[in-house]
A = this chain, B = another copy of it.
Amino acid sequence: MFEASTKIRVRYAETDQMDVVYHGNYAQYFEAARAEAIRELGFTYKDMEAMGVIMPIVELHVKFIRPAHYDDLLTIKTILKELPTDHRIEFSQEVYNEKEKLLTVGKVVLYFMNADTREKTVMPEQLKNKIAPFF
């Protein structure tokens, strides 16, 4: 299993008039946390795109348990439970506030895709070599 934690401070722009983070903004928190998780491995999603592999999101599932508020310093966990063997990769994501309360749980499914042909492909070797030792 591979797991990483990223801190994100809630912006005013991300709140709504219910005085909480707008639910649609968690997709951005998850995205930023996944990017940092990969960066910790010594690779970046940007590198992958430069190599011609993009990762469109094919599924997003979010359960909102408690609200996040303006200026909260959130901890976003990115968890990869299984090493992908084909074009599909599934991340679990969790959001905690500073009191370590679980606010949100998410599941995000992405595909590895060739940027030019938009055909499915597999995880680039450079990333696989970094991540395989965790499994």
Contact = CB atoms under 8 A, between A and B. Distances in A.
Interface string A61-82: 1111001001100000000000
Interface residues of A, number: 38
A59 B62 CA distance: 6
Tell me whether chain A's interface is mostly helix, strand or loop, or mixed: mixed
B27 A11 contact: no
A91 B11 CA distance: 18
Interface string A12-39: 1101111110111111100110011000
A57 interface: yes
A49 to B, nearest CB: 8
Contacts of A58: 63-64
Contacts of A25: 24
Identify the interface centre among A15, A16, A24, A61: most chain B CB within 10 Å of its CB: A24
A63 B15 CA distance: 22
B16 A12 contact: yes
Closest 7 CB pairs of A and B: A24-B27, A46-B71, A23-B57, A15-B17, A13-B28, A60-B62, A17-B19
